[in-house]
Structure 1
Amino acid sequence: MGDYTKLSATDAQNIIDLYGLGKITSLSSLSLGISNSNYKIEIDGSAYLLKVSNDKGFDHLKEEQEILTHLSESGFKFSLRPYSTKAGENVYIYEEYFGVIFPFIEGIAPGPCDQTCFEIGRGLATLHSLECDTEDIRSHHSVGFGPQEIVEYTESEKCPDDFKEIVEYIFPDKLVSFMELPLEKGIIHGDLYYDNTLFDENHLAVILDFEQAGVGEYLFDLGISISGTCLEKGRINSSLIDSYLNGYEDVRPLSIFERENLDKAIVIGFLSIALWRIKRFKEGSLNPLMANSYQELLSKAKIFWDDRTNNE
């Protein structure tokens, strides 16, 4: 997965020429990513990651790179800054292709464990603690699926019955009480699962894939991250949540409202990514073989919610 667009050596060189980086000495495709085709390129001993967008629109991709540039300029150490073309653009256009180029970072994608959760918790809290101007940053609602989008989707004709049933089962008030909470906002990642990170010697090195980043509620972002990171044998593990929160609160303590509503945020995290999969795979054509993959997230959401409510 990830090598959807087949770039020839000539195509890759022509893209690199837009940046003036030199002559390619090595080109290899990488089986990473869903929305992009990815290539590792070597030039005079330096390595670069060339990404070709398969799914994202040009404007959304450009907005994403503007966020990454903004984070870099604000001192956030866990994200990559895109290279600019000779024309000063952070997204290239070549024939029918468009995409970005990043420095290539060596690292290991971790598995769920206490250290992984602690480190990712610290990383997300560092993002949430960043002091920067968000006036020109897009809203997460323009690219992702928060509580309002989840509720609105359940009222649409396209909504699968099982998705609607889970939302109504867990949130009979249609998430009204959650959406009325006075939650702190800022730049969020929107999809920080453990497989969107690289580690170096058991420490977080890079956070990847900011395609759903934007201005949103920190608690919502925390719920998404925990739902996809604190897992053991396909289920949320309470001990891993504790490790995650230890790392997170080492940098940014939770507010009373955030702590009291964390379980709801975790369920919303499952539902948000489930809706993303429905839109991309079931309604869209990004990967038809994954059309029903959203159902595993609905199952995880119900199991987690039942476990929490039964133990109260």
Structure 2
Amino acid sequence: MTIQPPMLGREDLIALAEAYGLGKPAASSGPLPGWGSRRYRIDTTKGHFDVRLRAPDEAYEVLRREIDLLGFLEKHDFASPRIVADENGRTYADYDGWLLVLTRVPAGSYLGEGDLTLRQIHSAGKVLGTLHTVGRGYKKTIENRFGFDRIFETYAGVRRRLPPYFKKLVRTLDEEVEYLGNYLETKLPKGVIHGNLYLGSMLFKGDRLVCLGDFDAACRGKYVYDLATGVNALCFHDGSYSLDRFEALLAGYESYRTLSLAEWDSFPNELRFAALRFAVTRLSEFFETTGEEAERINREFGGYFERLQVLRREKEGGMEGLLMAMATGYDYRKYQRIKADEEPGD
């Protein structure tokens, strides 16, 4: 088990807020539920701030790239966290051997699967479409740390640690790794993607997604994969995919970027890979955590494994409607555009 970061108590947060000139933390400040000692919220009269503790052995280069990308997104007024530098201009600090990063976030709430409205999901689609559009101007290369080859390696390591009574789980994951290794499409539109869309990265206020965070997995990758992670995060509830949610998300996304025919064709497999990726990484993280953080990760693993079972048609869960929407999505939208172009001349 890896070493866990130090816990920041009330006095630590007060000292941190003073060092960054944030003012006195309100009573609502403290650790975010489910994140153990890795993530905190500081609320003051000057705003709302997110505090993260990152392990230095894996985070220096990742963090440098993340900070650079966040700076680019801020220049384009994208709805992402804003890095807060200390009095010496440093964008991160050493804290007992860990990397401490402070960001400013807008007022808002993190929501559960059952709390989402169609308007909020539509807004999330627009934000993701905006990211993929704005990101075209970001010319620096960012390695994809969660592509198929890396997930294959991660699963191989996790598989050796699973107890024998997990035979059914292992068989499902084995089959999925083999299938996706043969059928994932690589020649699809690529650019800057978020790479880690899940509800804990999305801050909502009213009907709007006001902040998309957690850019540590951002990279150059397939746009449709990023969209697939959004579908898995936002459109699955009570053991089933919601067609209404799917259509709301896609409508928001395609108001900024239209999917190609090849992307529509690859959508089902990208959904499967997105579910596999999150299931495998959560399973790997579970072995390295304890307490409430391990409980959160275990819940998330179970949720993504359930999605994978639905996507594999091993259990009911709304896939028929999604598959029909994917099969007809390109032709329907093309028809709508042609119709719109023809109407003014009628």
Do both share a fold (TM > 0.5)?
yes
Aligned-residue sequence identity (percent) comes to: 19
CA RMSD of aligned residues (A): 3.0
Q: 1:104 deviation in Å?
A: 4.2
The answer to whether residue 201 in structure 2 is matched with residue 196 in structure 1 is yes
Deviating more after overlay: 123-132 vs 147-156: 147-156
Cα distance change on mapping 1:151 and 1:55 into 2, 3 Å = same
Deviating more after overlay: 111-120 vs 217-226: 111-120
Q: 1:13 deviation in Å?
A: 4.6
Q: What does 1:277-288 align with in structure 2 at a 5 Å threshold?
A: 277-282=282-287, 284-286=288-290, 287-288=293-294
Secondary structure at the residue paired with 1:89? coil
Whole-Å separation in 1 of the counterparts to 2:190 and 2:17: 38
Counterpart residue identity of residue 53, structure 2: S
Q: 1:117 deviation in Å?
A: 1.9
Secondary structure at the residue paired with 2:217? coil
Report which of the two structures shows the higher radius of gyration computed on alpha carbons: 2
Q: 1:194 deviation in Å?
A: 3.6
Deviating more after overlay: 104-113 vs 244-253: 104-113
Aligned to 1:128: 132
Match of residue 297, structure 1, among 292, 304, 315 = 304
Q: 1:66 deviation in Å?
A: 2.3
Counterpart residue identity of residue 7, structure 1: L
Aligned to 1:61: 63
Cα distance change on mapping 1:32 and 1:140 into 2, 3 Å = farther
Aligned to 2:250: 245
Aligned to 1:7: 8
1:195-238 CA deviation, whole Å, 9 max, x = no partner?
42222231221112223222222111111111111022132212
Q: 1:67 deviation in Å?
A: 2.0
Q: What does 1:129-208 align with in structure 2 at a 5 Å threshold?
A: 129-130=133-134, 131-135=136-140, 137-141=141-145, 145-156=146-157, 158=160, 160=162, 161-162=167-168, 164-170=170-176, 172-179=178-185, 181-208=186-213
Check conservation: 2:52, 2:101, Cα contact below 8 A. yes
The answer to whether residue 107 in structure 2 is matched with residue 103 in structure 1 is no
Whole-Å separation in 1 of the counterparts to 2:9 and 2:123: 38
Aligned to 2:93: 92
Cα distance change on mapping 1:112 and 1:263 into 2, 3 Å = farther
1:138-165 CA deviation, whole Å, 9 max, x = no partner?
3232xxx332233344555527555542
Secondary structure at the residue paired with 1:72? helix
Check conservation: 1:79, 1:207, Cα contact below 8 A. yes
TM-score by length of 1: 0.82
Q: 1:263 deviation in Å?
A: 1.3
1:259-284 CA deviation, whole Å, 9 max, x = no partner?
111111111111111111111113x1
Structure 1 stretches of 5 or more lacking a match?
Answer: none
The answer to whether residue 116 in structure 2 is matched with residue 116 in structure 1 is no
TM-score by length of 2: 0.75
Cα distance change on mapping 1:163 and 1:214 into 2, 3 Å = farther
Cα distance change on mapping 1:207 and 1:216 into 2, 3 Å = same
How many matched pairs?
300
Whole-Å separation in 2 of the counterparts to 1:14 and 1:200: 29
Q: 1:115 deviation in Å?
A: 1.6
Cα distance change on mapping 1:162 and 1:82 into 2, 3 Å = farther
1:65-122 CA deviation, whole Å, 9 max, x = no partner?
222112212x042102111122222112244453122224211334233222211111
Check conservation: 1:120, 1:194, Cα contact below 8 A. no
Cα distance change on mapping 1:163 and 1:151 into 2, 3 Å = farther
**Structure 1: which 4+ aligned runs deviate by more than 6 Å?**
309-312
Q: 1:54 deviation in Å?
A: 5.4
Whole-Å separation in 2 of the counterparts to 1:153 and 1:173: 17
